[in-house]
A and B are shown apart, each in its own frame.
Chain A
């Protein structure tokens, strides 16, 4: 299994739709997980941190399944401005080591 693997997409959904992305990881020792969004030619920006079973922030919900080693991101009532690439990031235990990025899932919300 790759260190971090994401749904490749692209996902093209209409405005108002609910969409979910999955991310699987191989390092069972990882304790924290992050979802970032990246707009074209911009830096990744932190969307959500996931430290326990899940986290909710408005229309966004992240869930963690440690037994199956995956995290998911659910976007409800999607908006045009949600169009971006969503990156899953899994740090290993230990602060200074590299944080591994998934290849990203591209989302396009259509009017």
Chain B
């Protein structure tokens, strides 16, 4: 069964550094997402991406965050200047093989645990 893959599985970085989290969505999916989950808290939406542009973003997704799909397979989340409170599990997800109205569920990657020290 096709799956979403994320790398690295764990990233440790110092406050103020830039990190790039990588994801390879399922190949024929059209909609891509980043979610995060702070330890012990709920899964929070960050951003959705469709047709090579951001379609929606949450208030968490401020100017320090950016997403790219540079080569048609990878989908990356960049955090420009990490803060301690960015420490969380970051999940990439993809869905949808059709256009227009779509009921398909999200398929998640295994996540990247980001630790900011």
State whether A93 touches B101 (Cβ < 8 A).
Answer: yes
Whether the Cβ atoms of B42 and A102 lie closer than 8 Å is yes
A108 to B62, CA, bound (A): 37
B103–A31 touching, CB < 8 Å: yes
Partner of A97, one of B48, B100, B106: B48
Does B13 sit within 8 A of A, measured CB to CB?
A: no
A interface residues, how many (CB within 8 angstroms): 27
A residues in contact with B107, CB < 8 Å: 46
B33 within 8 A of A: yes
Q: List B residues at the A interface (Cβ < 8 Å).
A: 30-31, 33, 35, 42-45, 48-50, 55-56, 58, 89, 91, 95-96, 98-103, 105-111, 113
Known: A89-B105, A93-B101. 7 other contacts (CB 8 A): A43-B91, A43-B110, A95-B100, A95-B102, A99-B45, A100-B45, A101-B45
Provide 15 A-B residue pairs closer than 8 Å at the C-beta atoms, listed in order of the A residue: A38-B43, A43-B111, A44-B43, A44-B106, A44-B108, A46-B105, A87-B43, A89-B105, A93-B101, A95-B101, A96-B50, A98-B45, A98-B48, A101-B44, A104-B43
